[in-house]
Amino acid sequence: MQLNDKTIIITGASSGIGETAAVLFAAEGANLVLGARREALLQRLATKINDSGGSAVCLAGDVRDEAFADDLVKLATANFGGLDGAFNNAGMMGETVAIPDMEPANWNEVIATNLTSAFFAAKYQIPALKQRGRGSILFTSSFVGYSNGGMPGMGAYAASKAGLIGLAQSLSAEHGTDGIRVNALLPGGTRTAMAGDDPEVHDYISGLHPLGRMADPEEIAEAALFLLSNRASFVTGTAMTADGGISIRL
């Protein structure tokens, strides 16, 4: 029970890595505050967790809305007495198009969803964690925003995910003495809805990884569990890859 009695916020919880992490964290004893835009899917997930003996509440909203970040923290405090950690996982890829051809609307939407939302999250999560005297924040970045991971047509996505690494490192330096750890998790290609369902595309992405395959969402969720748990008590300011080696091949 690596998260026993810890209250954790998860955004992007209605599907993919977020949903898988919610099920895993609940099994590890966490009280969960689930956030995403799709209310019906969120409620179904919360019901599934509660019916299985876990503890979860949910709130639908948009991570681009500053008030939503505040509301998730308030929900954690109202239902569970405080906050111990957060898996800020919501994100989007946007259009895959070269920067000269990219519309500003696409750039702004990707940056707002992936990066500005992290600023909002930290703004409200950190004071709540300071009240506990400890805590852990985790952002879902990507190999695309790291090292040699840049890929054509993904300028907005890469910029947002690289920004998350810088944000995590800055926050870890600012709040380490508050007992707060902040890290970024960098998945490789993962079999979620964001990756689509085209077998040829999956085969191509799999071939980019030294392990020769894409990740299952459970594998990324396990990495997130480690970083949020006390097993990572001396890990902060990291950009931890769980990418099947793709960042060293590209």
- The residues assigned a catalytic role are 157
The Cα 97–Cα 103 span in angstroms is 9
Q: Phi-psi bin for 151: left (phi > 0), alpha (psi -120 to 50), beta? A: beta
What count of other Cβ atoms lies within 10 Å of the Cβ of residue 226?
Answer: 17
Structure tokens that stand for 133 in this block: 């005297």
Return the C-alpha torsion angle 199, 205, 207, 211, nearest 10. -110
Half-sphere exposure of 92 (CA within 13 A, CB side): 18
Half-sphere exposure of 19 (CA within 13 A, CB side): 17
The Cα 21–Cα 218 span in angstroms is 7
